Structure 1
Amino acid sequence: MPLVSTGELVSAAAADGRGIAAFNVITLEHAEAIAAGAELAGVPAILQISENAVTFHGGNLAAIAAAASAVAHASTAPLALHLDHVVSTELLRAAADEDFSSVMFDASKLPYDENVKVTADAVRWGHERGIWIEAELGRVGGKEGDKAGGKEGEPPLDAHAPGVRTDPAEAAAYVAATGVDALAVAVGSSHAMTQRTASLDHTLITRLRDAVPVPLVLHGSSGVPDEEIRAAVAAGMTKINVGTALNTAFTGAVRAFLDANPSTVDPRKYLVPARAAMTATVAGFLGLL
């Protein structure tokens, strides 16, 4: 079916007080699993491609975007295409040539005033082209290279460190100054967690929901237990980003197959169970929401 816009899916979820899941696409199998999982669950979903994934594909946004778009068009589930964690202005502008209806422009590592300036510029550019813009305030952390002070040699950023969580008053000022359509906030989750042990600050989520007029986004949801995600949505979270959980399922299935079949050289043999494992993971998160 035709692609649905991210803004439409997120706005509808926010109006209904429910969550909408966005899943990271790295390979074609990721996209196929997201579409299949959405069809199984009977609900919409968002396919998102990060700047890191584009780098993995040699900087070729068009190829992975075309693949994800083709999968979405062939699916019976309502699916949107989102470009995630973009720090490059060049990549932001490349989104206009593909099927992306939204971009997460990430200037969260910059000082506040500079973050506001470059994000407001991104929003103006996006809105002129009908592209919905998400941004981040606070530091979720956990991505490769995330350091406490932003420099190499410093310790990794801690999701529970003082000063990294999003301040509601600052968030309100930030949204007003930039005009963003959604805000990713730091409330205790962290990217790249392989164990679901994160504990979220639900009081802070509610304060942020009351402070800003746009939907809130939870990054690093792979490390958040089911009951914490349910509570986060009830407290005010709308867009729920999931990435590492798919990779954990994928890699676990590949490892198990190759352990049992060490002479296998045809990648299709182990990509079939890997894709099926990701499909089950997607359906599980969608059922949760």
Structure 2
Amino acid sequence: MPLVSTRELVDEAVAAGSGVAAFNVITLEHAEAIAAGAERAGRPAILQISENAVAFHGGRLAPVAAATAAVARASGARLGLHLDHVVSPALVEAAPAAGFGSVMVDASKLPYGQNVARTAELVDFGHRHGLWVEAELGRVGGKDGEPPLDAHAPGVRTDPAEAAAYVAATGVDALAVAVGSSHAMTERTAALDHELIHRLRASVPVPLVLHGSSGVPDDEIRAAIAAGMVKINVGTALNTAFTAAVRAELTARPDVVDPRKYLAPAREAMATTVAEFLALLPA
């Protein structure tokens, strides 16, 4: 099936009062698992490749993007391709030729004025090249040991008036907001500020994005979507499932040396996780 743009998937979710899930890709098995999980659930999804994942693959975008896009096109599910948490302007500029329909510009480590200027510049580039552009105001917690003054660290919240001003100044198509989730959570214990989500939805004229959704319980995700969240990002939950399956297989069969013997159950565990997250989204 041809790739579907993130814009189309998000617009459909907004119109339906639902959400669309975006899952992080690190290995080929991640991409295959996301496609399989989406097919089982009968729901669309977005495959995300972060700048960190590109760095893991030697800093070369084209191979991992091509492999992920090929998996998506071979799937019976409607899947989009998104480049996530991009700090490098050069990587944003490489996105259209690599097949991406959207990018998340991450200028959140810069002072506010520089964040706005960098983001607005890359939004302009993105729109001229057909990209849907997401950004965030402030840093999201838990990435590579960054200190907890990030946008999605516990206790940090996005101010609705500041968010509205940021969107107006940058022209972004979607905004990741801080409402109580955090990256890299391995336990689903986050409590979201649903009243704030309502206020943000009323103040910000673009779809809202929830980063760090792996740490958010099922009922909290459902309530967040009902309150106005649209794009739901999931990464660590796949890695947790992958690693647990690999560990179990190697513990049970310590003589195994063929990676297919442990990557197959790891891929299956991730596919199950994807299907379970997709089942949370309103039809």
- TM class by shorter-chain length? over 0.9
2:84 paired residue number: 84
**2:261 alignment partner in structure 1:** 269
Is 1:159 the counterpart of 2:153? The answer is yes
Q: CA deviation at 1:148?
A: 4.0
Could you tell me how far 1:97 is from its partner in structure 2? 1.4
Please show how residues 126-275 of structure 1 align to structure 2 within 5 Å.
126-148=126-148, 159-161=153-155, 164-275=156-267
TM-score, normalising length: structure 2: 0.97
CA distance in 2, matches of 1:103, 1:184: 12
Contact 1:138-1:165 within 8 A present in 2 as well: no
Structure 1 counterpart SS, 2:241: helix
Offset of 1:149 from its aligned partner?
Answer: 6.1
Take 1:40 and 1:160, find their aligned partners in 2: how far apart are those partners? 34
Q: C-alpha deviations, 1:226-251, integer Å up to 9, x for none? A: 00000100010000000000000000
**Cα distance in 1 between the residues matched to 2:14 and 2:40:** 23
2:88 is matched by which residue type in structure 1? Answer: S
- The amino acid of 1:269's aligned partner reads K
RMSD, aligned CA: 1.2
Shift of 1:99: 0.8
Match of residue 53 from structure 1: 53
Question: What is the rounded CA distance, in whole Å, between the counterparts of 2:74 and 2:137 in structure 1?
Answer: 35
* Structure 1: runs of 5 or more not aligned: 151-156
How many residues end up aligned between the 2 structures?
A: 281
Give matches, 1:67-82, under 5 Å: 67-82=67-82
Counterpart of 2:279, as a letter, is G
Contact 1:108 1:115 in 2 (8 A): yes
Displacement after TM superposition at 1:158 (Å): 7.5
* Runs of 4 or more consecutive aligned structure 1 residues displaced over 4 Å after TM superposition: none
Q: Deviations over 1:49-79 (max 9, x none)?
A: 0000000000011000000000000001000
The TM-score, its normalising length taken from structure 1, stands at: 0.95
> Which residue is equivalent to 2:33?
33
Contact kept? 1:103, 1:132, Cα under 8 Å: yes
Letter in 1 for 2:192: L
Q: What amino acid maps onto 2:50 in structure 1?
A: S
The separation in 1 between residues aligned to 2:63 and 2:115, in whole angstroms, is 30
**Alpha-carbon separation, structure 1, partners of 2:110 and 2:158:** 14
Looking at structure 2, the residues matched to 106 and 158 of structure 1 have their Cα atoms a distance apart, in angstroms, of 14
SS class of match (1:82): strand
Matched, 1:286 2:270: no
Percent of aligned pairs with the same amino acid: 74
Greater mean alpha carbon deviation, residues 135-144 or residues 58-67: 135-144
- Alignment gaps of 5+ in structure 2: none
